[in-house]
Amino acid sequence: MFVLVEMVDTVRIPPWNFQRQLNEAIAEELNKKLANKVVFNVGLCICLYDITKLDDSYIFPGDGASHTIVHFRYVVFHPFLDEILLGKIKYCSQEGVHVTLGFFDDILIPPESLQQPAKFDEAEQVWLWEYETDEGAHDLYMDQGEDIRFRVTDEMFVDTSPTGPSAAETPVIPGQPVAPPAEEVEKKEAPYTLIGTICDPGLGLLSWWNS
C-alpha cells in the first residue's frame, strides 16, 4: 500500500531560515511542497522518509534564498494491482460505491464489480445485494460508514496541471466579437483514482452485512 519513491528536486530556502540546520529546513520545505499532494504516475505523497544526498547550495543574483539540489526518498500511497484493502463506504451513487480510507477518498467500486445481483435504491441512495437464501432473497444494504473489503483492479491518473486561460477568461477586445459562454462547466477530475472490486463474502463481508 505504501512505497518508498526516490526523488530529486531543487529546494529553495529563504534567508530567514539560514539559522536553522540545512537538513531540517529542507525537510520542512519538501513536506510543505509534497505532503498530501498527488504526483502524476507516482501516487499520493505522505511524508519525507529521508534525505540521501545534498548537492552544493547556490544563491542567484536578485534572490537572497539558497537553492539546493536534493536527493531524497518519500513515502507514497500507491497500492499495487490486486492488493486487498479495507475501507469504509463514503456514499453510493449510480456510478457505484465510493470508498474512503480516511486519508484517501477517490476509490470507486463500479456496479459490475459488486456482488451480484445488485441494484441501486433510488429512494435511499444506496446499493444493495439481493442475497439468496433457502428462505428467499434478502436485501443487504451497503450503508454509509460500513466497513468494506475490496481488491484494487485498476488505477487512473489525470494530469491536473494548469492549462491556458479559458474563453471566459480571455480579455474582451473592443470591436471583436465575443464568444458565447460555455453551457456546460467541466467537472473537476480527481488526480488519482483507484478502481476496485468487492471481495468474496468468504473474506468476511457477510459478517458486517448481517450485523
- Cell digits for 51? 534525505
Q: For the sheet containing 118-121, what is the strand order?
A: 118-121, 126-133, 136-141
Element (DSSP H or E) covering residue 67? strand 66-77
Could you give phi then psi for residue 33, rounded to 5 degrees?
A: -85, -35
End-to-end C-alpha distance for the chain, whole angstroms:
28
Q: Is the pLDDT of residue 165 over 50?
A: yes
pLDDT of residue 207: 46
Other beta carbons within 10 Å of 205: 21
Q: Is the pLDDT of residue 76 over 60?
A: yes
Report CA Rg, the chain: 24
- Cell digits for 63? 534572490
pLDDT of residue 173: 61
Which pLDDT band holds residue 161 (cuts at 50, 70, 90)? confident
pLDDT of residue 163: 67
Q: Do the domains 2-77 and 83-158+189-208 sit in the same CATH topology, yes or no? A: no
What are the residue boundaries of the structural domains of the chain, listed by start? 2-77, 83-158+189-208
CA 35 vs CA 12, 31, 53, 103, 195: distances in Å: 16, 5, 20, 12, 23
Q: Which of 3-12, 102-111, 184-193 has the lowest mean pLDDT?
A: 184-193
Q: For residues 136 and 1, what is the distance between their CA atoms, to the nearest angstrom?
A: 39
pLDDT of residue 206: 44
CATH fold of 83-158+189-208, please? OB fold (Dihydrolipoamide Acetyltransferase, E2P) (2.40.50)
Looking at domain 2-77, which CATH architecture does it have? 2-Layer Sandwich (3.30)
Q: Which conformational region is residue 87 in: left (phi greater than 0), alpha (psi within -120 to 50 degrees), or beta? A: beta
pLDDT tens digits, residue range 107-151? 999 988 888 888 888 888 888 887 777 676 777 888 888 888 999
Q: Judging by DSSP bridges, how do beta strands 147-157 and 192-198 pair with one another?
A: antiparallel
Which pLDDT band holds residue 159 (cuts at 50, 70, 90)? confident
- Cell digits for 135? 428462505
Cβ neighbours of residue 20 under 8 Å, at least 6 residues apart? none
